[in-house]
Amino acid sequence: MNPAEAIRETYRRIREQGEKPVWIHLIPEEVSFARAEALGAPEKAKPLYGMTFAIKDNIDLEGVPTTAGCPAYEYVPTKSATVVEKLMAAGAIPIGKTNLDQFATGLVGTRSPYGACSSVFDKKYISGGSSSGSAVAVASGLVDFSLGTDTAGSGRVPASFNNLVGLKPTRGALSTSGVVPACRTLDCVSIFSADCATAARVLEVARGFDSSDPYSRPTGQQRAWSPTKFRFGVPSDELLKFFGDESARALYKEAIARFEALGGTAVPFDYAVFRDAADLLYSGPWVAERLAAIRDFAAANPDALYPVTAKIILNAASLTAVDTFDAMYALATLLRASEREWERMDFMLLPTAGAAYTHEEIAAQPIALNTNLGYYTNFVNQLDLAALAIPAGTRSNGIPFGVTLVGPAWSDAALLTTSKELEPPYCAEGYVPLAVCGAHLTGQPLNHQLTTAGAFLIEACQTSPNYRLYALSGTVPPKPGLVFTPEGGAAIDVEVWAVPESTFGRFVAAIPPPLAIGTCSLYSGRKVKSFVCEPWALNEATEITWLGGWKQYLSRKV
């Protein structure tokens, strides 16, 4: 698809799924379409050419309201955040502003008057926060990547619960100019994507010193290690917490084994140093930074804050300057102790979140369970570290489990390189990816031909929006015909199956006319083998493109 076509498909999907609760402000479709058309032909100078992205609604986009999850706080910026300007200059197209835990305070994704987001895998479970909408927008296939913020884990926990990559760069690597502060000295802009390669592309564009941001830093010396020979830290068993989630514990052990198989050496380290630093974030005076960010607004609008958010932030008024210095001294001691631990390892490998919670569980214990979610995340910015959350399997309850690689400052690129080595190929070696759109779909009468051939399902997805679908006449069992069309058409629902090379020829030989095997372009841009239809069979066929898929046609017939 060219960028303009991609924009049309993006808004079609948003209409299909509904704007709420993912989006707070959606940019009008025609504005995004015009930006896409204005890009012109692809240029090497635009590394993010035509890519779509979402922006957490505490990051400014010129002319679009910023709310930080609080309607009474709303203002319309006259200038975009520096990081947004860089992305747009590189050819990326913003789609809208996404939901969040109010004032970026929380790891749950439920503390918003605009609604509570859920994991895309099960609506009963939370999405994670505070960058809830940004994560769900990517996980739902609505945008190519998104921006969040991460002060205590908000760019990592939602990535874990939605099977995404979540990059929290080194503090100060990405400008926070144009970002509503949570803890100004700790805040980071984070990146959500489906894979490490995309996160790396966005990071390369977005990073850089910004004199308008007092906490921006010139890029330091890059930390690196061999991606196939490294030492990774693992906490001792007594300091590992999964809060009753034994499925997560087993998946963490599997992740350790995969890193060892890649060439890593697991090294025990004293996690107590980092845990104690994490405890300081909300039990210490850094909560007062959250109050400082909105002090005047909170004083004038005490009823505008979400109840849990108000309880956390307003209680900071009792903290003193003495409390602040005591905590700073404690943190400095922990920082020195952590340096000794770093002598043993290149990076640490941690669970991103020990457990996943339902909306009902969070409602019953909003602060205690939020604290659990921060057990492995809260210390990272305080100790000036970089972190990368990646998928690492699925819990027994169906919610994804993730691990986080935490490295020293300026190890962002090395974390991405190491993690990329673990990403599985789209299709296993020795198999052919095949898109099916009709009688071979899951639950349909010819699906057994795939399973008998030893095939397995890779994904359910859609074609690019350049196809027409027809109900063929006289076929038994009833079958559709998929036809490519250069203009018009739509995205059609398909399943992609991995068929063993050893049985692929026999499977193809059994396909009766007018069907044949050709090549299909998926919505992601990937090209795979697929069922196609010979043109002569369309003379007596019924076009059903407008329904979007074969199963929708069958359900209407019934």
Give the model's pLDDT for residue 489.
Answer: 85
* 385-394 and 400-408 strand pairing: antiparallel
Domain boundaries, the chain: 3-420, 431-557
Token pair listed for 291: 């109050």
Extract the tokens encoding 277. Answer: 């630093």
Q: Please pick, among 154, 175, 177, 216, the residue that the annotation labels catalytic.
A: 154
Q: Is the peptide bond before 21 cis (omega within 30 degrees of 0)?
A: yes
Residue 97 reports pLDDT greater than 70: yes
Q: Is the pLDDT of residue 218 over 80?
A: yes
The pLDDT value recorded for residue 45 is 73
Query: Are 3-420 and 431-557 equal in CATH topology?
Result: no
Q: Report how far residue 224's alpha carbon sits from residue 326's, in angstroms, rounded to the nearest whole number.
A: 35
One of 130, 190, 216, 247 is an active-site residue; which one? 130
pLDDT at residue 216 in the model: 98
Q: 199 by DSSP, 3-state: which?
A: helix
Reply yes or no on whether 154 is catalytic.
yes
- Mean pLDDT of all residues in 416-423: 87
Judge whether 133 and 410 are in contact, CB under 8 Å.
Answer: no
Residue 44 has pLDDT above 80, yes or no: no
Please name every residue paired with 519 in a beta bridge, in sequence order, or none if there are none: 529
pLDDT band at 223 (very low <50, low <70, confident <90, very high): very high
- Lowest-confidence pick of 2-11, 77-86, 165-174, 549-558: 549-558
3-state SS assignment for residue 149: strand
3-state secondary structure of 226: strand
The question of whether 479 is a catalytic residue gets the answer no
Say what the pLDDT of residue 558 is: 60
- 514 upstream amide cis, omega within 30 of 0: yes
The fold adopted by the segment(s) 3-420 is Amidase signature (AS) enzymes (3.90.1300)
pLDDT tens-place string over residues 234-265: 999 999 999 999 999 999 999 999 999 999 99
Please provide the CATH number assigned to the domain covering 431-557: 3.10.490.10
Amino acid at 184: R
Average pLDDT, integer, range 164-186: 97
φ, ψ (nearest 5 deg) of residue 236: -65, 155
Of the listed 32, 56, 175, 464, which one is catalytic? 56
pLDDT at 40: 84
- Is there a catalytic annotation at residue 524? no
Average pLDDT over residues 287-314: 91
Instruction: Residue 339: name the closest of 405, 277, 404 by CA.
Output: 277
Q: Say what the pLDDT of residue 283 is.
A: 78
Give the model's pLDDT for residue 556: 83
Q: How far apart are the first and last CA of the chain?
A: 34
Stretch 204-210: mean pLDDT: 97
Confidence bin at 431 (pLDDT 50/70/90): very high
pLDDT digits (tens, 9 = 90+) for 101-143: 999 999 999 999 999 999 999 999 999 999 999 999 999 999 9
Q: What is the mean pLDDT of residues 184-190?
A: 97
Q: How confident is the model at residue 464 (pLDDT cuts 50, 70, 90)?
A: confident
Q: What is the mean pLDDT of residues 446-469?
A: 91
* Beta bridge partners of residue 389, listed in sequence order: 166, 404
Q: Which of 223-237, 424-438, 528-542 has the lowest mean pLDDT?
A: 424-438
